Chain A
Amino acid sequence: MNSIGFIEHILFQCRVSGFLKYMISIQNISKVYDQNLKALEEISLEIEPGEIFALLGPNGAGKTTLISSICGLTRQTSGLIKVSGFDTLEDYKKTRSLIGLVPQEFPLENYESVIETVKFTRGLFGKSSNPSYIEKVLKSLRLWEKRSTPIIALSGGMKRRVLIAKALSHEPEILFLDEPTSGVDVQLRKEMWDLIIELKKRGVTVILTTHYIKEAEMIADRVGILNRGRLLLVEEKKELIKKFGKKTISVELKEKLHSIPEKIAEEKVYLSEDRHSIFFEVSNTKNKMSLSDTIKMIAETGLSINDINTTESSLEDIFLEIIAEEEMR
């Protein structure tokens, strides 16, 4: 075994035994395009093996540039990216062989058949032919029946599936999905979420960018929010909701109020437009007021309760709030 083979062996052992903590390690990377356009600024991020990481951000935030830098489609201006312990610039063959990429658009050659284009990708990534594996991938994406169909004859949703099949064709350990469900119908979106969860079970690390915050909320383990080339935060999804999320308790009253009663005025409360309801805004961390506390407080004011509802802020609300705060700075 030569020295490179030995290092590969050690890294493989590390990964298997859980010693290799990060599948992707990004250290202070920046990307400046022509005309001094800063696409990424000092991004540092670690992604663990087998996790689903969602990268959120508005258009032009730098999500695609970040993915492109990791996959080798563009070169970072400064900083270091490691995939499975290997430098993406110096050991690009090793890092790229681990990665499957599903791009945002439909960059496919129209007159190729489904199976030929998928086989091409497998070969391009250095893997020898494996018809049974290709069949399995196409069947799992419901493309087997369409295997001889030219790409031009496929619907948008099917083309998206072809791109996923291509990305999976060389059995990657990391899968990048750039806006995977944009332009696909609800059923296919659900199928894709199921597929991503299935890949995670098989140990594949999945990084996805998305505009559908609901998507991140449904499937991601951790979330990173990117805006104007800067990584604003990286947090476990549950922790993020806990930390930044708010609960609103809405108390519908039998009577109409003119103003907020003095006894509850100290709390974070506001009246509905029709003045028939009081809303209590409860932070998940700072103010741990319970539902029974709310009922007790209302009872002390002498008001009669008609109905009570609680709503919790979604990841989308949190995302919008964080972006809005950043924009105001």
Chain B
Amino acid sequence: MNFNSIKSIYKFEMARALRTIMQSILAPVVSTCLYFIVFGAAIGSKISELDGISYGAFIIPGLMMLSVMTTSVNYAAFGIYLPKYTGSIYEVMSAPISAFEVIIGYVGAAATKSILISFLILLTATAFVSFDIRHPIWMLVLLIMTGSTFSLFGFIIGLWASNWERLQLIPLIVITPLVFLGGSFYSTSMLPGFWQTITKLNPIFYIINGFRWSFFGTSDVPIGVSIFFMAAFLLLCIAVVSIIFRTGYKIRN
């Protein structure tokens, strides 16, 4: 394992975020405050408790998942797309580094950034609502798994994208709607029967609910099902990235 190479990519990508530190910190803090003002205070006050949890606390795992999923995809996609766009990808391709090591560097940095931001959201949430985390270790494990999986997915999008429009296409028209419709801000029990069935077709619904379980010890689906969906998506992403690197698709030639 070429640790120096991995460290180099990781540090380089982390430095990119540090250059825009105010934007990286302020944006999630401001948007979290807005969510809590709009959903927690304005709308939440009209909603009774869900499974004994106040609505304000109920949406915290959803907010964290919304953030970790979208930022993981965006950071990782941008991280690999930018060197492709500028041409500086030549360095990575001509370096003595395996595809696996390249992935660890880029995906690791994207996941780290998105996980740190989700913790920032958690910290901001404490200013608006009181809550306990029932299974903190599981919360951390699920957060890392989600961050890594969606960073890997973002990495694939970044490799596939041949222009800026394509880079934004999947996050905008697939990820964001699925996260919003995956129970980030509501419980399926609040939906009519037909829409409950539709929601259960959304894989992200299982991931968000698994994460909510780690907070409150209760969710719409069993934790095992959540982990199964997350692991399946992770393996699928690993398989796609392996094929891309083995065939050189969109990279070599």
Q: A residues bordering B, Cβ < 8 Å?
A: 33-34, 71-75, 92-97, 99, 101, 103, 105-111, 116, 120-128, 166
Contact = CB atoms under 8 A, between A and B. Distances in A.
A71 B92 CA distance: 11
B122 to A, nearest CB: 30
Given A120-B12, A123-B4, A123-B8, A96 B86 contact: no
A124 B92 contact: yes
B19 A126 contact: no
Given A75-B252, A101-B90, A107-B88, A123 B5 contact: yes
A165 B95 CA distance: 15
Nearest to A105: B87
Given A94-B96, A101-B90, A125-B96, 8 more contacts: A34-B253, A71-B94, A93-B2, A109-B83, A116-B12, A123-B4, A123-B8, A126-B5
A255 to B, nearest CB: 63
Nearest to B247: A75
Interface string B88-117: 111111111110000000000000000000
B90 A108 contact: no
13 contacts: A71-B94, A72-B93, A72-B94, A73-B93, A75-B248, A99-B94, A107-B86, A107-B87, A107-B89, A109-B82, A116-B12, A123-B7, A124-B5
Given A72-B94, A126-B96, A109 B9 contact: no
Contacts of B92: 124
Contacts of B87: 103, 105-107
A120 B82 CA distance: 16
A329 B145 CA distance: 63
Nearest to A116: B15
A96 B252 contact: no
Contacts of B2: 93, 126
Contacts of A166: 91
Contacts of A71: 94
Contact of A109 (B5, B88, B93, B94): B88
Contacts of B134: none
A97 B19 contact: no
B164 to A, nearest CB: 16
Interface string B56-93: 00000000000000000000000000110011111111
B166 interface: no
A103 B4 CA distance: 23
Contacts of B8: 120, 122-124
B5 A125 contact: yes
Contacts of A34: 253
B11 interface: yes
A244 B11 CA distance: 54
Interface in B233-253: 248, 252-253
Contacts of B95: 96, 124-126
A104 B142 CA distance: 45
B90 A92 contact: no
B88 A124 contact: no
B100 to A, nearest CB: 12
A127 B19 contact: no
Contacts of A125: 5, 95-96
A122 B7 CA distance: 11
A123 B11 contact: yes
Nearest to B8: A123
A186 B188 CA distance: 72
